Structure 1
């Protein structure tokens, strides 16, 4: 008999969604537990509900380790890293700059050392390319700093354009 397991649901949401997954997990679970940066490694088999968990939350684990589902129950593990725009490794998740240490900024829901000049917050809309469509490369911008205000330089079917981020 299949039973409802919110932990497993949150794991799959966390693993299969984009970087905004941490915000989504906090909203769904309704908790305020600290979620460390990085992604839990995907278990070789379905995570066990019957195993002996050695942690419940990321904050139960030392240093950068995360509390991850495994076939033996939840265990503290080293996560797969999330890379910041400057190629450094994000050290924690965030919703705003207030969630980050003084020398870091919240960039796409992780704390990174300052956002490089030219990269604006938000994400480009998803580009859907119809079957058989040839993308035109008539670019009107090269990077976010080429765009006015909060607009970002995003790929479109007609080349890169300045769009309102999502």
Structure 2
């Protein structure tokens, strides 16, 4: 038989336990997704943290106290804890091109699909990684505005290739709106290509300032900056950012190449064999291929040329002060010829035509 004092003690203990606050459920946090925190102290310790945006470990300065657990003494420790197999990283739809056309700049110009703008994917090349449009996609973007479609779900396409292979002007893309998947008019990319930026280590967090070209001024593109996505001045073509290459031979042939960092054509010595295509006999030829397009071309008439292909381009009509479609035969012609209306507007302007002028439909 229990002693009365024992029963009283047991009842008191149970009452006390009942009144104690319950411990909160343990919050499970992925430390690899925490932002880098310097902490409150003022020391200067070099540490590493995992940046899920670029899919790799970056360096930062730790003050010595507080902070959070996304803080490692070495890059290898950070990678062991946070780096996942590439197959588990989020990927964009589409297939990387089997091979990259033309010459390739060697380097790590992206780390994951998340470091590429718009629909582009981070694809392997023969000597690195670059952002490339999937083989099933055509240039341009699906409109961001959601369409109101009250009809039953419609599917008129599965990839951009079902919308005319990009041969129609304006281009059409396969876009998803709720349960609908339809071919719609694409919004244009900005002219030119992104300047190549290699992966860099930075003390600052990597924060995107754009998602695609539509977030940038007309003469800039949304590009990988080496750390995040940002707006950068465009380059006319990938050819124009290849490094000067004298080749292995020993001739002495003055040539010109385009420097994207200095935005002008510079002289170099070509040995006479191999090298790459960023090589021009004259400065004028270099500037024509890679420099800013001269406003004088906007005064030229549209010129189909002597060949008989059927390609739709745009030219600037200086009388109407607007960009118009015309058919290009495929050879010769002049430089008042642009792939897109946006490129035509960028080069030749969008000044308003006189009020008494008349226009013809495109």
Flag whether TM exceeds 0.5 (same fold): no
Q: Return the index of the structure with the highest Cα Rg.
A: 2
Q: Which has the higher contact order (CA 8 A, sep 6+)?
A: 1
Q: Return the TM-score normalized by structure 2.
A: 0.22
